[in-house]
Chain A
Amino acid sequence: MLLSGGLYELAFAANCVMLALMGAAQTPPNDEFRGLLQQGFALHQQARFVEAIPLLERARRMEPNDYFANLLLGIDLLRTDKTTKAIGFLQTAARVNPDEDTPEEYLGEAQARLGHFAEAATAYMESVKRARSSEESVLAWAGFALERFRQIGEQLRSSETGAAAMRTLQDEAKQPVASLRCSAPIPLLEKKLEARSANADSATKTRHDLSLCYAVEADRAAARLNANTQDQGALHQLRGDVLLRLSNNAAAAQSEYKQAIALRGQDPALFERMAEAQMSAGDPEAARQSAMTALGIDPHRRAAMGTLATLAMNNRDYEEALPWLEKMKAESPNDRKVEVELGRALAQTGKPAEALANLQDALAGGYPDEKGALHSLEARLLKELGRDAEATRAADEAKLLSNAFQSGNRSGSKPNAKE
């Protein structure tokens, strides 16, 4: 089934190049350009992106506004983690051929990877607009919306006020999505979130609003796909995502993923999501196996690593959690949540200095500790390291934070709401 999945991509690229070589709707290309594009495409087909890139770059220099040269180059740069560089070529491709949805879709992926979520949302929405009858863009947009819903939920859960907002959100998500309202355009809310990240309360409110908007969009996309698609695997996956991320119904999500896996048995994303659903449903052993299957297909699946790390941490099996957390940190050095978990695991495995470094990095990077739990852990580590004065200060800070939170005097706290 891998090849059938791979054939989607290859068929798409082949079509692109065929059209390019035929010179459709463009100035007839010269032989050298045609040859470079053909060679670049051949390498692309074999996933030899690094080798394809110089050829495609040469082709593009010859035809700077060629749609396919820009598109293929953008894709291959994206696949080799040169995301920033890829964006320019994808933008050119999108501009050159304003009726094509594909460049916008890849642009969405690139922007999302860089954390430019406003731009990513804009690109995905443009892709859907351009696609009209294509389900591919709708699926990509829905996938992005659900992933953002998950990411924002994770961010919310990292603070207590955010967790409260998340609980509200989960309650709201249980209502029919049709009854939910999106308060503002998604790119605008993403920009707002970016701009006001320093203000905890405002950010929490924006995250809540944004999550609702993503829920609405994912639901719309699912409805559209449900009505039109022939790709049953994709449909099951999307249904599963909606059930897992929006409806918090892990059991039903598993059923959808199972059906999707039956159709696309080598798709690591499906096993990754299945693992998440199994973990949510309280079946850790099945979750572990699914996550390992996902990593067997693609060792870089971050969510699968996260599931394995979480499973191990849940069992207080710190030795097992550490390799996954370390891999995750290596790939995303600024992920504060990973730093905190790494700090916890290292603290329990006799590495207080490393644990402290991770914990302090996360706290300095703004990871919330409203109830003082992390400062308490920091105090313990400092004490272990013989830094008693600092340990006392950290413990005092933990008490201050805890008392401030409990008394409602914390920064960004809210008084008891009146009904």
Chain B
Amino acid sequence: MRRSRREVLRALSAIAAGAMLPGFARAEDTAIAPAGLVKLVNGAAAAGLNFVLRNDAHGRKYQVETLPGGLAVIDFDGDGWPDLFCSNGAALPNLTKSGPEFWNRLYRNNRDGTFSDVTEKAGLQGLGYNMGVAVGDYDNDGHEDIFVAGVHENFLYRNNGDGTFTDVTKAAGLQGPGSLGRPPWSVGACWVDYDNDGKLDLFISNYCDWHAGTDPLCGGMADQARAYCHPDEYHAEPMQLFRNNGDGSFTEVTRKEGLPDLLGKGMGLTVADFAGDGRPGIFIANDNARNLLLRNRAKGLEEVGIDAGVAYNGDGRNISGMGADFGDINGDGLADIVMTGLKNETYDVFLNAGHGEFEDGSARTGLLNLSRKWNGWGCGLVDLDNDGWLDLFVAGGGLDTQDAQPNRIFLNRGGRFEDASEGAGADFARPAQHRGVVFADFDRDGRLDAAVTSLNAPIELWWNRSPRENPSRHWLQLRLTGTRSNRSAIGTEVRCFAGGRMQVRTVSGSVGYASTSDLTVHFGLGVEKEAKIEIRWPSGKTQVMPNVRADQKIAITEAVS
């Protein structure tokens, strides 16, 4: 019965010293998300979207099983209605699409709230274990093309303009490992005209050196104890940059452009003119490694992540960077960055302080604590309630089946987020291992919808059914076509002036995790019924459109003269 003598003695000493600490009163964050401002309804099945993302997980815990799920919005038939392309996994360990369950899928928008599976006609069933998708008109022929990133094989599908695609990977010089000397595991990619020659170049986010059968044994010897290994157990593969030669082929210029090996277990990537110099840069979220930020100097790309303050968070720590997106969170006209991670890590927010430098804004925006419980993969800064502020949609879910989670919506209230997920609708709370998310106004009702993939579960199509009145929620959508600039208009900066505020977007589909959203630019205008639009094309041309009426989607072509 002498158990506590030393503890008690310490206590006695303390009391003898008479030292007592004052009690702590701490102000709680009392912000409460207003319910019912964003309503989402999953209409995938009714719309004919029957895609199921297959990773072929059978307990062996191949690392690649954790990461598929990229998808893309593409208007492949040029009818102005956003279609949907979903990449898929394959059989393991041979990485082959052994049956239709592993096919990639292309769904044509029927313009009536339904979709038709046109995969076979399009010839897009695909090969290999695919991860991510990038959409852009790389040959400037007016038809959006598809790049599919994957494990040891990437594919470029040229849009023939007749509803079919041709695999031009080899002819384009994109087959094989390139400078890496061994086939990389590519997770995502983005199209960007980094040299501003009017032709889209290709940047690929590579993850790590992985081969079936070389995964370390993690979690335990017993089958039921096996777990996916931590990324630190693998070696990173450098990112790759391919310059568009203008003749349908590409040349890898990763090392030729003065860029060092960009190592970091690349995941999602996003594009914006973050430095305000008219040239788009690229942010690459890395999984437990320093994030990379490529600044587009006139002389070429330069990796500036550390100098810019985005390589690590404000505390100097890494997180499991998954998805990322650029967007002006605090309404100062500068592109900020949000990056998702796994639960307990908290998502990172890097607020743009100007001149290409960033500050950690996780706490300031409220996302630090709001995100603590949630695994985040795909994400997007999009104006879901058309109030003129970019909200955050996050595809939720952990690495393995026991850690399924629902998606999250964080509404932006003047630069500070509130979790509005609970009020978004009953079925929004459904947990899954969500991965990629893309955004488009699929039904063209002026409200941005979302499509989300989940491992071994049906795709979700979240129709945005948020109220449009009380107060009024107006909007404006712009579809840009470059002439001197690349035809997809990627890298174009669009400014929208309405109600005394300026909103800024960079045209880019690259969003969240391994995915591509609609290239259509969407502005929520709140109660404003018109706006002034200013377009700064990559060519240097500026177009101004005063008094543009709200609640319409307009097509704008870059002026020739």
What residues of chain A have their CB less than 8 Å away from a CB belonging to chain B? Answer: 2, 5-6, 8-9, 11-12, 47-49, 79, 109, 135-136, 139, 160-161, 163-164, 167-168, 171-172, 174-175, 230-231, 233-234, 264, 266-269, 282, 285, 288, 292, 295-300, 313-317, 344, 347-348, 371-374, 376-377, 379-380, 395, 398-399, 402-403, 405-408, 416-419
Contacts and interface: CB of A to CB of B under 8 A. Distances in A.
Contacts of A419: 213-217
Interface of B: 1-17, 19-21, 23-24, 26, 28, 209, 213-220, 225, 227, 230, 232-236, 260-261, 263-265, 288-290, 306-307, 309, 311-312, 314-318, 344, 360, 362-363, 368-369, 372-373
A298 B20 CA distance: 8
Given A288-B24, A316-B368, 5 more contacts: A8-B2, A297-B11, A299-B21, A407-B263, A416-B235
Contact of B5 (A12, A296, A405): A12
A181 to B, nearest CB: 13
Nearest to B4: A5
Contacts of A5: 4-5, 7-8, 11
A403 B260 CA distance: 10
Which has the most chain B C-beta neighbours within 10 Å: A49, A300, A416?
A416
A379 B219 CA distance: 37
A406 B21 contact: no
Contact of A136 (B2, B7, B15, B318): B2
Give the secondary structure class of A's interface: helix
Contacts of B213: 418-419
A406 B263 contact: yes
Listed from nearest, the 9 A-B pairs whose CB atoms lie closest are: A9-B5, A406-B236, A377-B316, A5-B8, A298-B14, A316-B363, A417-B216, A406-B263, A408-B235
Nearest to B263: A406
A148 B207 CA distance: 37
Contacts of A379: 306
B227 A171 contact: yes
Given A313-B315, A372-B290, A395-B306, A174 B6 contact: no
A416 B4 contact: no
A336 to B, nearest CB: 14
Contacts of B314: 316, 348
A267 B11 contact: yes
24 contacts: A5-B11, A8-B2, A9-B8, A47-B16, A136-B1, A139-B3, A175-B225, A267-B8, A267-B11, A298-B10, A299-B20, A300-B13, A315-B363, A315-B369, A316-B360, A344-B315, A374-B316, A398-B311, A399-B306, A402-B289, A406-B263, A407-B236, A419-B215, A419-B216
Given A231-B1, A419-B213, A6 B362 contact: no
Nearest to A383: B307
B362 A299 contact: no
B8 A299 contact: no
Contact of B17 (A79, A267, A299): A299
A175 B360 CA distance: 40
B232 A269 contact: no
Contacts of B11: 2, 5-6, 266-268, 297-298
Contacts of B216: 416-417, 419
A379 B316 CA distance: 11
A109 B369 contact: no
A374 B311 CA distance: 11
A315 B368 contact: yes
Nearest to A416: B214
Q: Which of A139, A292, A372 has the most CB of B within 10 A?
A: A372
B362 A316 contact: yes
Contacts of A160: 232
A160 B235 CA distance: 13
A28 B234 CA distance: 72
A92 to B, nearest CB: 20
Nearest to B307: A395
Contacts of B209: 416
A417 B217 contact: yes
Contacts of A377: 312, 316
Interface core residue of B227, B230, B290, B316 (most chain A CB under 10 Å): B316
A313 B218 CA distance: 30
Contacts of B13: 47, 49, 79, 298, 300
A407 B312 CA distance: 18
Contacts of B316: 344, 347, 373-374, 376-377
Contacts of A230: 1
Contact of A416 (B219, B234, B288): B234
Contact of B219 (A9, A12, A171, A267): A171
A285 B29 CA distance: 12
Contact of A371 (B7, B12, B289, B373): B289
Contacts of A298: 10-11, 13-14
A267 B218 contact: no
Contacts of B265: 406
B223 to A, nearest CB: 13
Nearest to A340: B316
B236 A234 contact: no
Contacts of A285: 26, 28
A267 B7 contact: yes
A372 B263 CA distance: 13
A416 B233 contact: yes
Contacts of A264: 4
Given A269-B7, A297-B11, A171 B225 contact: yes
Given A8-B8, A47-B16, A288-B24, A167 B230 contact: yes
